Structure formats: structure tokens, C-alpha cells
Structure 1
Amino acid sequence: MRSRNGHPGHSRFWFGTGLAQFLSAELKDFPGRRVAAARLFAVSLIIALASQTLHVPPLGALSILVCLSYDAYANAGQSLAFGLRQLYYLFVTVLIAVLTLVLAGNDPWLLLSLSFAIMALALFHARLIAWPTGIALWYSIPVLYNPDAPAAAIHSALWNIPIIGVLGLGTWTLVHLSIKPQDPRQLLVAGLAEELAAVAAIFSGRLADAGVAGQQKPLHKSAAGGQFGKLRALLGHAELLHPTMRRQRDTYLALLLEIDGLRQLASWLDHSLAADYRAQPISPEKLAVYLALQNACVGLRQSLAAATGSAANPGAVALDEAILAGYSLAGQPSLMTAFWRALQRIAALAGQLQCDPADSGRKAGDEAMAQWRPAWLGYPFWAEHVDSLQYGIKFSLGAILCMLIVQALDWPDINTAIPTCLVAAQTSLGADYRLSLLRISGAAIGGLCAYFYVLVLQSQFDTVIGFALATTPIWALAAWITAGSDRIAYLGRQLGFSFALFVLHDFGAVTDLYLPRDRVIGILLGLVVMGVLDYALWPRRSSVLARQHCIAALRTLAKFTVRLPDPGRLISYTLPLRLAAEKDLAAAQDLLAHAVLEPDARLPDKVRERAALRAIMRDAERLSSLLQIRKRYRLLSGQQFGRFPEQLQQHSLGFDAALALALEQTAEILQGERRDSANQAAERQAQLKRSYAEHHRIDSLPADWVLEWELRFKLDEQITELLGSMQASALNALPER
């Protein structure tokens, strides 16, 4: 096979690489994967042995599918939260299924109508909260698998589904809490200490530039983005295992944001200092500031790394104001001052964590009680989430159609078509196609492994121990593939489920060799039905959705340019915007990865559009970081905006407005509302630079302070350059007339 760019063996399905390169990357060994694979292997083997000894083989296969579908890298808090929540959804599903069968079990058309509505709402809810589609999947097993026998369906809902849930979710949760469980609070503290260590290494590099003994430059430049999202998720997981942390959630969030902001600021400095800047001498006063900053970072890092309680010891941080006063100049904002104030804020927040604050959640709870009317009772809620509603309707309709086809053919062994429609429910056409290919590939490989087991290994063993030895390699293979990235994990799940469905179909030796064939036929039926529906009914093109997410991210970034009155507004204003922008950009990246599988993906306009959107997303991520750095510099550097001359204030506000306008124009170009750019940010930045130079008399300042201002101007220049690049990319994303 030769791809469009001329490389033999390259495929759109293998993410632009050849099959060998794809497998080499996705099957790579690393310590974390070994732990994850060991967990999944233990879960699969335990369920397989339990299903054989307790005589519930068919339920064991479904339990294995449930376990292989969940995150094998989950820490202890995440595992407990996920297991409890899924068990809750399981019992809710049982209740809904039983009520539906009791009320409409003897009326097929009423049963179909209710099932369609229930599964559509379940899929809508799952899409809304970004949660696995467990309710719809579990509901379909007792209700749609055997609709002509309501009594048997009620028995299945009351007994089989709880057994699947308890056997699957219970085993998954216990294994995750037993095999190398990780305390999320310890991971959170270690992550914060790692962030501070990276900042200390950057300061050490600057001291090494100045020739200070005992200092060394970092081997690799650190990434500017930090790991805020990961640490924020760990905070949520830690609150489940350590309930006392919930009372201090706001303080923890502020600490995460401050440390991440310090890391962003230091990383930007490290990347922006060119070789000629590094070669310039540093005054003794500035060296003293750098040494104090480095010592503060090291002290905080060590106290965080050694902390086993709720917080570090803020006494480990000693920042003598006299050291900063010896370097700073009256009225001159400074990057060193921004570093200094950031570390002071971090130390103060760490000190607050040692206190036992009053119940700060009462006010929020009172406000929540005041809003007694749920949002979903109003039309705006449904109008805003119409795509999720269409998603639920479309895939629920597919499951109903497959059930009718299975009943019409009187072929119950192809009922795998029904869950296929629900499992294949993805956000776009490209994602549906990719998951469908992984599903059919995994089912085929699992079927071949099952045939190999029956024809070669089954006759050699006649005990449960022999069964375990014979099936161990297949469980290990499925676990290892499932522990990979999202690009290949689903193949491993289907491999394990297909093999389990075959070998656990009944107690004792396997004789029904038609099962793998019928399972693959059922999957193909489900994929065909959903492929037709997904393409004909509200098709969701990956590139179109990616463009919409890019537009939303750009308009969110435009709000970053608002000048805040004080640092206390950083969390309340900046944090929601940052999370929204990061969420939209991450969704757009995932969608573009799937866009190459859609029918018109190789058209020149589509290729150019994807390249332009990738460039916009790359620049938008960098711009988000720079805008946050700029906001933090303004608030912490000692900049006295209210004392600036009126003309300088107008130039600064004009530059802010130009940045917001440029981002809005880029969004309008992507929407197709305009085909030209009128970026005035560069002109406004030049005016602001001249105004700063005149007011602060930069030409007469010492060399260290000239460098400070050059870095400040470079930050604005980097922002304007990114805006120009993004507008050019947006114009390239437009189709040719």
C-alpha cells in the first residue's frame, strides 16, 4: 500500500505511519504499562476462573468486557470513585429495566418506544458528562436481547446484570486497590514538588550562566505548559480518600494555579533567553535575587516532597525583602519581582493548608439551594446541547433497528449487533469509523485465538488449573494491548471479550465452534446499520467539529486579555477560561486525528484545512500560555498601572482591545464570516513599546533593567506574531472559491 505522500506501507488508519511503526510504538514496554497490564491480566484471569467454578460462564465474558473497558492506570482514589459510581449506575439501570419490562413487557411497540427514549437519554447523559455509556449498554442486555420473553428478561435484569456488575466492577476495583495502589495525595504532592524542582533548575541555569560555583544548567528545556490538568484531576481523586481535603479545596486550587503559573513564567524565561542574553553579565544584586529565589524553590520542594500530612512547612521558605529591595527600582516593573511575589503567595497558601478552616462550602450550598429549578427544564439547556441529543437519538435508533433485524432473522447469536451500536457511539464520523475498524479487528483476532485454543490446547487439559494455564497467554496479550494508548486499546478489549465469549460460553469443553463466526457477523451488522445512520442522520464531520472547537477556544482566549484589578481574581476569572480553552483544544486535536478516515478526507481542500487547523491549535496552545504569563506579569511584577500617564494607559488598553479583536477576527474567519484580516495588534504593540520607553526612560537604565524591558517587549511581540500566524492559518483553512 502506498499513501498519498508516497511512503509505502503508510495508512490513514495507522495515523500516518506504517503498520510496523504503529505496532512498535503502541506495544512499547515501560514500567507504568507493566503495572496496568498486570492489573488487567489479574482481573481477566480471576473472572475467568470464577465463571468456571461458579458455573456462570456467559456472564463472565461480559464481566471481562466491562473490566477491560475501564482505565487500567487509575490511582486508588480514582479507582474507588469510578467503581462506586458505576455500581450506582448499574443498580439504577436494573431498576429502570425491571420497571420497563413490568409496564411494557407484553406490548412490543410500547417496549420499543420506551427503550428508545431510555437509551437516548442515557447516551445523552453520558455524552454530557463525558462518561462511559454503561447505562444504555447494560439496559440493552436484558431488555433487547430477549424481548419476546418478558419473564426471562426480568430474571436477567434482576440477577444477570447485578452479577455482571458485581463480578466485573468489584473485581476491577479490588485489583486496582491491591496491585500497587497509588495514593492520589502523594502523587499530587510529588507533582507539585516536581514543578518546583523544574523552576529551581531553571534558576540554577541562570546562575550557571553567571559563573556561580556549584550551579549547573538543566540538560533539557522544560515544557512551558506544566501539568496543571493532571494535578487538578489528582486533587479530585484525593478528596475521596481524604475527605478533610474537601474543606480546603479552594486553597489547594489556588496553590496548584500559583505553582503552575510560576512554572510557566520560568519556562518562558528559559525559552526566551537567547545565547547573547545569557552571555551578558548579571549584577551582584540580581544574582542575590536569583539565589534567594532558587533557595525558596528548593526549600518548598523539599518540604512538599517530605510532607505526609496535608501541607508543607512554609517556614522552609525565607524571602528577605531587603534582597529584592536592593535590586528593584522605584516604579519599574520587574520579572524578578513577579517571581518573588509568586513564591510568597505559594508559601502563604502552603501555610493556610496547615490550618483547619471553617466550613467554606456553606455559602456555596446556600446559593445552590436558591437555584431550585434545574437547568434541564428550560429550552436554552436543550438548545445548547442539541448535538448531544442528536447523538443519543441516532445511536439509540441504531440499537432498536438491530434488535428488529435480529428478531426478524430469528438468529439470536448475532445479537452482538445491539451493543455494537452503543459501544461504537463516538463524537464524529471519523471516530466511529476508527472504533469500528478496531472492534472488528479485535473480534477477528479474538476468534482466531479461540479457535487455536479449542483445536490445540483444550484437549491437553481437563481441570480448572489446566484451563488457567492454557488461557493465560491470551489474557496477557489482551491485557497488554488494552494497557496501550487510546489508539489501540479498544482492539485489546475486543480481543479479550471475543476470546472470553467463546471459551466461557458454557461450563466445560467448548464445542460450539459457530460462536466466533456469529459474533463477527453481529458486529458487522451493527457497524453497517450505524454507518448508514451516522452518515445519513445528522452526520458529524470530524473536521467541522474540530473547527467549531477551535472557534470556541479562540473566543475564550479573547477574554484572557481583560485587565484584572488584583491577583485575587486570578482563580475566579482565569481558571474557568483556561479550563474551557484547554478542553476545546484537546477535543479539536482528537477530532482531527479521526478526520483522515472520513470519505472526503483526501480532497485537497480537506488536506489543507486539516493542516491549517493543526497550526491554529498549536499556536493557540502557545498563545494561551503567553496570555497567562502576561496577566501574571502585570499583577505580580510591581507594575503600577494607575500611576501611568493617561496616554500610556490608553496605549495599554488599546493593545488589550487589539488582541481581543484579532482573536475574534480569527474566529470569524474560521466561521466563514470574513475572508480578510485586519490585525492591528502589531501596530498597537509598537505604540505601547514607545510609550513605555519614554515614560520609564529605558535607554538610561542599567543593563540588567534594559534586559528586563527587552524580555517584557519580547513577550508582547511573541503574542502578536502568534496572532498573525493564526490569522494566516485561518485564511488557509477556508475553501477555495
Structure 2
Amino acid sequence: MLTCIIVAVPGLGASVQKSLLRIGGCIVGTLLALFCTLFILPHIDSVTGLLLMVIPAIALSGWVAAGSERSSYAGVQILFAFSLAMFATFSPHPNLAEIRDRVTGILLGITVSTLIHGLIWPEAEGKTLRHSLASLFEYMAERMHPVVWKTNTHAEGWLKLDATQKLLAQVALEPNWRSNDNEELTLACQLLLGKLREIHVALYRLETEYARAIGDPKLRHAVMLANPVLQTLSAEVKRYAQALQSEPGSIPAIDSQLSQLMIDMQQGSMDTEAFRNRALLLRTGELVALFRSVPGWPDDNKSNVSGV
């Protein structure tokens, strides 16, 4: 019953992920308890020996729990399974029924929960993943027009990227996601996230150069050359994001209207005044090149139960 309640989280992929962590942590904790019960506990006759037995198990569970958020729950389960098997009573006991009953109960609870979530009441997050990717593109577009340097922008962008990466990891665990030949969509999402990370770093560099140039009257011409490109690029990225939020068939890459603007910017950069801050123009060109290399969304004509 407790297992069914614990793994009943929003999203089929998140539920599967938590079930796997619960099973893995429980098995490791149970094996540790079984080893200690059979080989160490019969030779312990003091509190010091008891501490020497349990400290390694506590250290292992604490190390796992303090790690990545994706696997930290397994550390809690290691300690919980070990403690319940070793300290169920106030005195040592060689009865292994507690260990057996806990493993059996968890496996039964996960089996029931998986059948309910997978067959009777599936809650796929494929569409949520696509909307999360679209919101990332909208976020990048808003940062390009107007360009404003903020101290917390870099950290905020990484948080958004990490949240989407976590959602992708959960969606990839959904049974219907894998059983419907969706490896191409998983690869497409991973490529988009990788490209967005590069764009986030390049955009932060651009914001830094832009803030330095906007404060210097001698560098206004370079800012004027970069502004039309960034404005058009922002509009193109917003169009891409809006198409991604809808039911996409095949979304074209971000490329239209940018070629001529890049030519105009390069010709204008030959001016002596603009040449003093070529760093801003180079950052702008780098950002445009990254966005133009963003792949189009694959065709969704194939049946897709996940809703992506």
C-alpha cells in the first residue's frame, strides 16, 4: 500500500523512475541487511561493534542521497530497508522474514501501480515536454529583444535547461514512448537541448558585450548594426516556438530573412567606428549561426501515443 502511494506521482515516466529507484534502493539495503544478519550480527556483543556494522551502510545511503536528484531517492530507500530489517525490534534477531516480506511487498506494490498507470490510467508527458522545449525557445527570444544584461540570467537559464532535461529523462522511461518507435523523437529532443545549452552560453556572452557597448557612445554604431539582426532573430525564434507548441507536422529551421541581414551587418562592420567593437558583432554572428543550426522538428505523421 505504501509503495502504491509513494510512486503515484504526476507523469508515467516519473512514476516509473521512482519505482526503479525504490526497487534498486530496497534491493541494495536488503542485501546489506542480509549480509550483516548472516555473517556479522552473530559475532557482535557490544555497541561499538553495532556502530561499526551500521556506519558503512549509513554512509553509503547518505552518499547516494546527497548525489544527483535523479538518484537521491534510492539512498533513502537503502537506509530505510536496512534499518527496518536490522532494527525492527529492540534486540538482534535472526529471523529473515522481515527482509523477505518487505521485498515482496514493494515488488507487489510496484507491479500493481505499473499496471494501473500503464494500462488503465496512463498519464503521458510527451506534450508537456514539447511545450517545455517551446518555452525555452521563447525565453531565449525574449532575451534577444531587447537585450538587457542581468546578474541572475545565467543561473536562471541553466535551471530551465536542467528542468527540461529532467522531464526528458522521465518521458524516455514511459513504456509507450519506447514501444512506439520514438527513438528519433528522443534524439531530436536531446539535440535541441544540446543546441539550447550552446545558445544559452553564447547569448550570455552577447549580453555582456552588449552591456559594455551600450554604455560607450563611441560604440553606438556597432549596437545599431546588431539590433536589426537580433530583432529579426528573436521573431524567427518565437515563430519556431509557437509552431512547436502547436501540433507540429514538420517545422522549418530558423533561417529566413537572416542571410541578407548578416550580409548588411558584415558590410557595415567595415566602418572604422564599428570595428572598435567587433566583439559584439562577432558574438551576434555566433548566435545567429547557432540558431540557424537548430534542426527542424521531425515529421509527426507517425502514430504517437505519448502525444509528442
TM-score, scaled to structure 1: 0.36
**Cα shift at 1:667:** 1.2
Q: Which residue of 1 aligns with 2:306?
A: none
Q: Which residue of 2 aligns with 1:659?
A: 233
Q: Which residue of 2 aligns with 1:625?
A: 201
Post-superposition CA distance 1:159-188 (Å, at most 9, x none): xxxxxxxxxxxxxxxxxxxxxxxxxxxxxx
**1:432 paired to 2:15:** yes
Q: Which moved more, 1:661-670 or 1:599-608?
A: 599-608
Q: Which residue of 1 aligns with 2:288?
A: 720
| CA distance in 1: counterparts of 2:6 and 2:158, whole angstroms | 26
**Cα shift at 1:561:** 1.5
- Residues 556 and 580, structure 1, Cα contact 8 Å, conserved in 2: no
| CA distance in 1: counterparts of 2:284 and 2:108, whole angstroms | 56
Identify if the C-alpha distance between structure 1 residues 489 and 680 changes in structure 2 by more than 3 Å, giving closer, same or farther.
same
**Cα shift at 1:736:** 4.2
| CA distance in 2: counterparts of 1:654 and 1:464, whole angstroms | 74
Q: Which residue of 2 aligns with 1:559?
A: 142
**Cα shift at 1:488:** 4.3
| CA distance in 1: counterparts of 2:199 and 2:269, whole angstroms | 23
Identify if the C-alpha distance between structure 1 residues 487 and 558 changes in structure 2 by more than 3 Å, giving closer, same or farther.
closer
Post-superposition CA distance 1:502-542 (Å, at most 9, x none): 1111111225432122212322233234324433446133x
User: What secondary structure sits across from 2:123 in the alignment?
Assistant: coil
Aligned ranges 1:193-232 → 2 under 5 Å: none
Aligned ranges 1:42-121 → 2 under 5 Å: none
Gaps of at least 5 residues in structure 2 are 303-308
Identify if the C-alpha distance between structure 1 residues 461 and 656 changes in structure 2 by more than 3 Å, giving closer, same or farther.
closer
| CA distance in 2: counterparts of 1:447 and 1:455, whole angstroms | 12
**1:730 paired to 2:307:** no
User: What secondary structure sits across from 1:731 in the alignment?
Assistant: coil
1:505 aligned to which of 55, 71, 88: 88
**1:588 paired to 2:154:** no
**Cα shift at 1:660:** 1.0
| CA distance in 1: counterparts of 2:260 and 2:105, whole angstroms | 63
- Residues 65 and 74, structure 2, Cα contact 8 Å, conserved in 1: yes
Gaps of at least 5 residues in structure 1 are 1-416
Which amino acid in structure 2 is aligned with residue 735 of structure 1? D
| CA distance in 2: counterparts of 1:640 and 1:520, whole angstroms | 71
Identify if the C-alpha distance between structure 1 residues 715 and 473 changes in structure 2 by more than 3 Å, giving closer, same or farther.
closer
- Residues 226 and 281, structure 2, Cα contact 8 Å, conserved in 1: no
Identify if the C-alpha distance between structure 1 residues 457 and 720 changes in structure 2 by more than 3 Å, giving closer, same or farther.
same
**Cα shift at 1:431:** 3.0
- Residues 249 and 300, structure 2, Cα contact 8 Å, conserved in 1: no
Q: Number of aligned residue pairs: give it.
A: 297
**Cα shift at 1:552:** 0.7
Which amino acid in structure 2 is aligned with residue 635 of structure 1? A
Identify if the C-alpha distance between structure 1 residues 639 and 676 changes in structure 2 by more than 3 Å, giving closer, same or farther.
farther
User: What secondary structure sits across from 1:570 in the alignment?
Assistant: coil
Q: Which residue of 2 aligns with 1:687?
A: 264
**1:465 paired to 2:48:** yes
| CA distance in 1: counterparts of 2:218 and 2:117, whole angstroms | 55
**Cα shift at 1:605:** 5.1
- Residues 428 and 591, structure 1, Cα contact 8 Å, conserved in 2: no
- Residues 659 and 681, structure 1, Cα contact 8 Å, conserved in 2: yes
- Residues 430 and 597, structure 1, Cα contact 8 Å, conserved in 2: yes
Which amino acid in structure 2 is aligned with residue 598 of structure 1? E
- Residues 230 and 284, structure 2, Cα contact 8 Å, conserved in 1: no
**Cα shift at 1:570:** 3.4
Q: Taking every aligned residue pair, what percent have the same amino acid on both sides?
A: 24
Aligned ranges 1:222-261 → 2 under 5 Å: none
- Residues 251 and 296, structure 2, Cα contact 8 Å, conserved in 1: no
Q: Which residue of 1 aligns with 2:305?
A: none
Post-superposition CA distance 1:593-616 (Å, at most 9, x none): 333322134457521112121221
Post-superposition CA distance 1:525-565 (Å, at most 9, x none): 33234324433446133x4433222111110111112235x
Which amino acid in structure 1 is aligned with residue 149 of structure 2? L
**Cα shift at 1:433:** 1.5
* Greater relative contact order (Cα < 8 A, sep 6+): 2
User: What secondary structure sits across from 2:90 in the alignment?
Assistant: coil
| CA distance in 2: counterparts of 1:501 and 1:612, whole angstroms | 44
- Residues 669 and 675, structure 1, Cα contact 8 Å, conserved in 2: no
Which amino acid in structure 1 is aligned with residue 58 of structure 2? W
Q: Which residue of 2 aligns with 1:380?
A: none
**Cα shift at 1:495:** 2.1
| CA distance in 2: counterparts of 1:466 and 1:534, whole angstroms | 45
Identify if the C-alpha distance between structure 1 residues 510 and 675 changes in structure 2 by more than 3 Å, giving closer, same or farther.
same
**Cα shift at 1:586:** 0.9
**Cα shift at 1:644:** 5.0
State the structure with more CA Rg: 1
User: What secondary structure sits across from 2:91 in the alignment?
Assistant: coil
| CA distance in 1: counterparts of 2:179 and 2:116, whole angstroms | 23
Post-superposition CA distance 1:340-387 (Å, at most 9, x none): xxxxxxxxxxxxxxxxxxxxxxxxxxxxxxxxxxxxxxxxxxxxxxxx
TM-score, scaled to structure 2: 0.80
Q: Which residue of 2 aligns with 1:612?
A: 188
Identify if the C-alpha distance between structure 1 residues 483 and 619 changes in structure 2 by more than 3 Å, giving closer, same or farther.
same
Q: Which residue of 1 aligns with 2:123?
A: 539
- Residues 559 and 660, structure 1, Cα contact 8 Å, conserved in 2: yes
User: What secondary structure sits across from 2:264 in the alignment?
Assistant: helix
**Cα shift at 1:468:** 2.5
Which amino acid in structure 2 is aligned with residue 428 of structure 1? G
Q: Which residue of 1 aligns with 2:212?
A: 636
Q: Which residue of 2 aligns with 1:490?
A: 73
| CA distance in 1: counterparts of 2:269 and 2:31, whole angstroms | 72
| CA distance in 2: counterparts of 1:676 and 1:583, whole angstroms | 26
User: What secondary structure sits across from 1:507 in the alignment?
Assistant: coil
Identify if the C-alpha distance between structure 1 residues 563 and 642 changes in structure 2 by more than 3 Å, giving closer, same or farther.
farther
| CA distance in 2: counterparts of 1:448 and 1:643, whole angstroms | 68
| CA distance in 1: counterparts of 2:146 and 2:84, whole angstroms | 60
Aligned ranges 1:277-288 → 2 under 5 Å: none
| CA distance in 2: counterparts of 1:583 and 1:534, whole angstroms | 29
User: What secondary structure sits across from 2:265 in the alignment?
Assistant: helix
